[in-house]
Structure 1
């Protein structure tokens, strides 16, 4: 699935019928779907939170600003993803993408199993933190009370 804001006809022309190109989607809803096995992301904070909440491993491809430390957190701290490596021409190779996807999706891959397991642990933490009566709800309610005074 490609999300292309604005003009989508070029993407539709250049991609075959195995792909869907749309101008917008509810990303969290898509990520929570059981058919999604991993998420390729630039690692903006919203996408990072949504991947964590959905329990999906990530293929990270940071470009600027907060994306680089977010990618580091996903790959090195949470251990729920792998970063796309680029060659000397600053291009992502088809072989690199294929290798990463295979490592996530192969049910017998030791690396894939560990990443998927860690992603599910992070999901459980996120779900626990956002349920009714959780610390997130208490903090937001307190914040709203404070600014409403």
Structure 2
């Protein structure tokens, strides 16, 4: 955790970090650096126009929320579904960067600095491409949620199938 905190601070990119337990380095974070909070409404934060990236373990809900908000990710999977989700985000959809290249690698502050700066470099071609792709994913998500969109159609179909079984 210390390496993540120091990497975020040294990146000189403003950040919001939800952290339930205080770290020793919290005193090094001020309003010019970032904010550390014990809780936040993640989707609401991700949808804010000032958010340029999301460092995530890649749980499925967090991944979907980032896509819905149109925010590219730095993935840091730890276990369960997070590994395949990270692979999909980085390798298949190309809307994120992998923090670690292999499971044996230990997270170092320099890695955090490098990945955060790359993701937040709006002139970097790879970063631009990620932003363009995740923006298209966002449009698809929003269309799916509109009245008559695929989400409503699929739910209606599901409910029809269930009601047939009980009638």
Which bin holds the TM-score, normalised by the shorter protein?
Answer: 0.7 to 0.9
With normalisation by structure 2, the TM-score equals: 0.78
Among 5, 12, 35, the alignment partner of 1:20 is 35
CA distance in 1, matches of 2:143, 2:69: 13
Aligned twin of 1:46? 61
1:141 equivalent in structure 2: 156
User: For residues 102 and 56 of structure 2, what CA distance do their matches in structure 1 show?
Assistant: 19
Q: How many residues matched?
A: 145
Using the size of structure 1 for normalisation, the TM-score is 0.86
Between 126-135 and 31-40, report the one with greater CA deviation.
Answer: 126-135
Note closer, same or farther for the CA distance 1:35–1:62 as it changes in structure 2 (3 Å cut): same
Once residues 112 and 102 of structure 1 are traced to their aligned partners in structure 2, the CA distance between those partners, rounded to angstroms, is 10
Q: In the aligned structure 2, how far is the partner of 1:43 from the partner of 1:98? A: 19
Moved more, 61-70 or 82-91: 82-91
Gaps of 5+ in 1: none
Give the counterpart of 2:137 among 122, 136, 142.
122
Aligned to 1:33: 48
What RMSD in Å do the two structures reach over aligned CA positions?
2.0
Tell me what 2:91 maps to: 76
Q: What's the CA shift string for 1:32-82, capped at 9, x where partnerless?
A: 101100000000000010011011000000011110000000001110001
1:59-74 aligned within 5 A:
59-74=74-89
2:97 and 2:119 in contact (8 A); partners too: no
1:132 shift after superposition = 1.2
Change over 3 Å in CA distance of 1:143–1:63 after alignment to 2? same
